[in-house]
Amino acid sequence: MQRRFKAAIAGLLWAAASMVMAEQSCEQTGGAQLSSLLVARCINVDASSHPPCNASNRCEWMAEAIRIGCLGLLQDPATAPVYCRSGQENNASVIAAARQTINSAHSAWRKAFPDSDPSRIAFSIEELNQDQREDFAALRPLKDGSTVQLVVFYGQPDGSFALQFSSGELAVPAGSKQSVTLKQRYRLVSSDPSSSDPDYQTKADSFLFFERSSSTGSLRLQYRLEAGELRLIGQERTVQQGKDSNGTSINYPAGKVLQWERRNGKRSETIRKDPNLPRLLLPQLNEAMLH
């Protein structure tokens, strides 16, 4: 009797544990790298009004959205992302394909930086150079983490990655958070040249963002891929001083500098033109440039 009771209790505990596991988030079950990749792919292909593209959702939910979205994109295979063309048999295969991409990124990282553990790196995986293959960017820790280097890898035809760009050294100020993100900007267009109503979206530009934030302010740099080079096109800087703040916003292509200040709840700003603003390339980025 006691044995049957213990077995029944064990069965109930296992059932309860299974229910909890079933509701665990993708980040919990798959890790930060896999969940962020599934989120990016889900956002890129899901055209529904309420897509499940969030790391707090289950991996399987995002995989289902990716699989359905890819079915629509494959009507024009030439423009569909590479990951839509294989590994779409079921949700499990979508997740497995994403894991393979992460493994390929790890292999490329170890080849380029043998002294660094890729499993601890926050990858931003996104198509950057308009070839339908995913690329990735990350911050490489240097000197025991006291400095970092911004690096970009391009996806290769065989599914591997190769180092393409790297910056100079950047400091890691105490109490700060830093990140790098690849993003696509889409443009709505019409398949009918005579119509003004857009019915689908196409990729327009590719960007890389470097961000640093702390309790005393923030910095954001925006690079755009131009003629095969990542060139600085924007900078936003904010300094927080108690309830007051000030900042600078620079549009490099337009040669425009906006400086603003907020004191006692009132904002004032000035705009000046400077046609000689240097549009630096990503390899020229270093800590000295940020001051």
The predicted pLDDT at position 81 comes to: 87
The predicted pLDDT at position 41 comes to: 92
Q: In the numeric block, which tokens belong to residue 184?
A: 């696509």
Torsion of CA 113, 116, 118, 121, to 10 degrees: -110
The predicted pLDDT at position 186 comes to: 57
Answer whether 62's CB lies under 8 Å from 26's CB: yes
Query: Which residue is listed with tokens 């890790």?
Result: 31
Q: How large is the angle between the packed helices 59-73 and 32-45, nearest 10 degrees? A: 30
Run means of pLDDT, 10 residues per run, the chain, 291 residues:
39 40 82 95 83 93 93 82 88 96 97 93 91 93 90 96 97 93 68 56 77 95 94 96 94 96 93 92 93 76
Q: In the numeric block, which tokens belong to residue 91?
A: 């949700």
pTM: 0.83
Q: In the numeric block, which tokens belong to residue 45?
A: 């292909």
Answer whether 58's CB lies under 8 Å from 66's CB: no
The predicted pLDDT at position 198 comes to: 53
Q: Where are the beta strands (DSSP E) in 190-265?
A: 200-214, 217-226, 229-241, 244-251, 256-263
Answer whether 162's CB lies under 8 Å from 152's CB: no
The closest of 76, 84, 82, 94 to 201, measured between CA atoms, is 76
The predicted pLDDT at position 58 comes to: 95
C-alpha to C-alpha distance for 262 and 240, rounded to whole angstroms: 10
Q: In the numeric block, which tokens belong to residue 61?
A: 């939910």
The closest of 256, 254, 255, 258 to 237, measured between CA atoms, is 258
The predicted pLDDT at position 9 comes to: 43
The predicted pLDDT at position 48 comes to: 75
Q: How many residues make up the chain in this entry? A: 291
C-alpha to C-alpha distance for 49 and 177, rounded to whole angstroms: 32
Q: The dihedral of CA 59, 63, 64, 65: what is its sign? A: positive
CB neighbour list of residue 241: distance below 8 Å, 6 or more residues apart = none
β-strand pairing of 217-226 with 161-171: unpaired
Q: Where are the domains of the chain?
A: 25-114, 121-188+203-281
Long-range contacts of 225-234 (CB under 8 A, 24+ apart): 225/128, 225/129, 225/130, 228/129, 229/281, 229/282, 230/152, 230/165, 230/281, 230/282, 231/279, 231/280, 231/281, 231/282, 232/279, 232/280, 232/281, 232/282, 232/285, 233/279
CB neighbour list of residue 236: distance below 8 Å, 6 or more residues apart = 218, 219, 220, 247, 248, 249, 250
C-alpha to C-alpha distance for 101 and 130, rounded to whole angstroms: 18
